[in-house]
Amino acid sequence: MNVCLIGSSSLRYMPFIRCYEEVLQASGVSYDIVYWDRFGLDEEKENSIAFHRPGTARKAALIPGYLGYRRFLKNRLHGARYDLYVVFSAQIAVLLFGFLIDKRFVVDVRDYTYEGFLPFRLALSALFKRAMLVCISSSGYLEWLPKSGKRVISHNLIETDLGAAPLPFDFSKKVMSYIGAISYYDANVKFISQVRRLEGFEVRYIGKGECEASLEQYCRCEGVGNVKFFGQFTPEQKRQHYLDANFVVGCFGSETVNGRCTMPNRLYESCLYRRPIIVNKGTFLGEMVDKYGLGISVEQDRVADMEPELSRFYDPGYYEAYGRRCERYLATVKADLATFQQAFGSLLY
């Protein structure tokens, strides 16, 4: 059996492909990865085929790139012998509508794109009806996705990730860290404008993204002294950044669909490493944090008022109870992972 994984970005920004590779490798199934190297990273990976063209964060400006990638895919896939296609992103699935509709395929959705545009939604709905499986990274997406009876949650985790050991908590420090791709400018400006008033806390932005330069400029212009920017990090450095933090920042706001519905990797990482996460109310992430007691959910304009809640985690007994809540949540994630592996594995032969 041969499987084709079709990505929509550079490999660095599609770590969720690992979830599928783990199942494919365990099943002894051969596969290729075709992807769009939007950021010119020239990544080297066995059995991968790249479309090299710079991308952009602006939706309208992306259209020529998508059309070019569509031509590239059609040329590469024409006459190829694949028994199953896994398409990452609704946009790519819709662009390949005519090609996919009579094939065996899986659609993996990890953000909101053009689902509010009726022709796009109708095409995606038709694809969902024909798909062997629809995988989503957040149950919050059920708010806007077309219905599908063949749907599973696919967290951006593999089994070895769940074996990460908790990190010791330094009760003498006061460090909040935003670790990952930096986006959601407006939500982070609101967070920074509030957290600057928290006495003794240092806030670290660790990573690159669409707005880290703008946020850094904002801090300079406003004279914010307790926020620091550390730039890009490697996967090997991530654990150390969690070790150096007391809290993880995951404030994306509720104004955008993606901000309201996303389920970021840092929630799992915060639980694995035992770092309480700070999130916004009015979001699916906030609901999960409140439901399982995994950190603090705050109104965007009330961040400065959360000091009493922060202080609770410096009580050893309370922090220990938080660790037990993390274990309970991670047990549900592990169950979701097993369901995904079984569902995707059942399509292989």
Tens of pLDDT, residues 293-342: 999 999 988 888 999 999 999 999 999 999 999 999 999 999 999 999 99
CA dist., res. 101 & res. 131, Å (int): 8
φ, ψ at 224 (rounded to 5°): -80, 115
Q: What is the mean pLDDT of the chain?
A: 94
Q: What is the pLDDT of residues 120-148, one digit of tens each?
A: 999 999 999 999 999 999 999 999 999 98
Q: What architecture is domain 2-154?
A: 3-Layer(aba) Sandwich (3.40)
- The reply to whether 2-154 and 161-330 are identical in fold is yes
| pLDDT the model gives residue 54 | 72
Which pLDDT value is given to residue 79? Answer: 87
Q: Out of 14-18, 84-88, 246-250, which region has the weakest mean confidence (pLDDT)?
A: 14-18
Give the chain's length. 349
Contacts within 8 Å (CB) and 24+ apart, 228-237: 228/202, 228/203, 228/204, 229/204, 229/205, 230/204, 230/205, 230/206, 231/206, 231/207, 232/207, 232/208, 233/179, 233/206, 233/207
The residue extents of the domains of the chain are: 2-154, 161-330
Please measure the distance between the N-terminal and C-terminal CA atoms of the chain and give it in whole angstroms.
6
Query: Does residue 55 surpass a pLDDT of 80?
Result: no
Of the pLDDT bands very low, low, confident and very high (cuts 50, 70, 90), residue 81 is very high
The pLDDT assigned to 84 comes to 98
Residue 56 has pLDDT above 80, yes or no: no
Domain 161-330 fold: Rossmann fold (3.40.50)
Say yes or no to pLDDT of 59 above 90.
no
Q: What digits encode the pLDDT tens for the residues 153-191?
A: 999 999 899 999 999 999 999 999 999 999 999 999 999
Phi first, then psi: what are they for 184, rounded to 5°?
60, 65
What gap in Å lies between CA 246 and CA 175, rounded to an integer?
5
At 332, list the tokens: 């549900």
Q: pLDDT category, 236, cuts 50, 70, 90?
A: very high
Q: Report how far residue 92's alpha carbon sits from residue 106's, in angstroms, rounded to the nearest whole number.
A: 12
Q: Order of strands across the sheet with 30-37?
A: 48-52, 30-37, 2-6, 84-88, 105-109, 133-136, 151-153
- The pLDDT tens digits for 2-16 are 999 999 999 988 999
